[in-house]
């Protein structure tokens, strides 16, 4: 079975622009979570979606939004990009909404100039 | 929120050496996972270990939940073991992982 996939792998944007990142979970997994990892730090939780509904949100501004589609894939949107949004964005999937092993995708590296 | 501290932050090993990485956490947890982040950024699952001991080849992990720590053992290290090792915990049954800052491991031939 394929693992978690993410696209694109790399992205360069300028301040003020908008970006959309995509994630496809492992087949059969219904939960998708998004994490942001800035250089030198561990990943930080942004969102969790389960059965197409937002089930959790981390301490991120409203410029960050996400959604989950009927096939359980997900998009993360970031508006009005700031330099500080430059990071590796990781998607994780799991079968259950609650405590479960999470599997991560390869990430999207976003650079904001 | 829950605090996760990993030590040592940096470790340089000679190939063939053994090492122990430690993860301390500030509250009881439902889930604890160890990951290896490769140079391209992918987080590779090593262990799901909220308690007890597990082994997978040259790697093993032990979590003592009552004392709020976990250990990752690397035996007979190889250059491919280089990278950052992360400990991540979840405490509220909500599947949100809180990560430590990682252990940067460099294995030299």
Q: Which residue on chain A is closest to B38 by alpha carbon?
A: A106
- Structure tokens belonging to residue A15: 């301040």
Alpha carbon distance A78, B100 (integer Å): 25
Contact at CB, A102 and B33, closer than 8 angstroms: yes
- Structure confidence at residue B39 (pLDDT): 85
Q: How far is A102 from chain B (nearest CA, A)?
A: 8
Q: What is the pLDDT of residues A65-87, one digit of tens each?
A: 999 999 999 999 999 999 999 99
CB-CB neighbors (< 8 A) of A6 in chain B: none
Alpha carbon distance A38, A86 (integer Å): 7
Q: Which residue on chain B is closest to A59 by alpha carbon?
A: B1
> Which of B96, B98, B100, B104 best probes binding to A when mutated, by most A CB atoms within 10 angstroms?
B96
Q: What is the pLDDT of residues B92-109, one digit of tens each?
A: 888 899 999 999 999 999
Q: How far is CA B46 from the centre of its chain?
A: 8
Q: Which of B91, B83, B85 is nearest to B73 (CA)?
A: B85
Q: Which residue on chain B is closest to A49 by alpha carbon?
A: B95
Compare CB distances from A56 to B35, B96, B102 and report the shortest one's residue: B96
Alpha carbon distance A4, A22 (integer Å): 11
CB-CB neighbors (< 8 A) of B103 in chain A: none
- Band (pLDDT 50/70/90 cuts) for residue A100 is confident
- Asked if pLDDT for residue A1 goes beyond 80, the answer is no
Chain B residues with a Cβ under 8 Å from any Cβ in chain A = 4, 30-31, 33, 35, 40-43, 45, 48, 86, 88, 90, 93-102
Phi, psi for A7 (deg, rounded to 5): -145, 150
Provide, rounded to the nearest whole percent, the portion of chain B with pLDDT above 70. 100
Alpha carbon distance B45, B35 (integer Å): 5
Place of tokens 């995509």: A22
Contact at CB, A99 and B45, closer than 8 angstroms: no
- Structure confidence at residue B92 (pLDDT): 85
């Amino acid at each position: 079975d394929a693992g978690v996939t993410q696209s694109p792998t790399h992205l360069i944007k300028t301040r003020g622009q908008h970006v959309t990142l995509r994630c496809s979970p492992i087949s059969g997994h219904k939960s998708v979570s998004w994490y942001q990892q800035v250089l030198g730090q561990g990943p930080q939780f942004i969102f969790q979606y389960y059965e197409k509904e937002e089930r959790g949100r981390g301490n991120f501004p409203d410029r960050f939004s996400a959604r989950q589609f009927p096939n359980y894939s997900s998009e993360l949107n970031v508006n009005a990009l700031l330099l500080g949004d430059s990071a590796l964005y990781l998607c994780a999937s799991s079968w259950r909404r609650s405590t479960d092993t999470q599997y991560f995708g390869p990430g999207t590296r976003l650079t904001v100039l | 929120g829950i605090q996760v501290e990993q030590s040592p932050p940096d470790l340089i090993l000679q190939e063939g050496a053994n090492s122990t990485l430690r993860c301390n956490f500030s509250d009881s947890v439902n889930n604890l996972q160890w990951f290896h982040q490769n140079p391209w950024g992918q987080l590779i699952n090593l262990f799901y270990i909220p308690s007890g001991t597990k082994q997978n080849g040259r790697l093993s992990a032990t979590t003592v939940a009552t004392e709020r720590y976990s250990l990752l053992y690397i035996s007979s290290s190889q250059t491919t073991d280089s990278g950052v090792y992360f400990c991540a915990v979840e405490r509220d049954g909500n599947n949100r992982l809180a990560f430590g800052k990682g252990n940067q491991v460099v294995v030299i031939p």
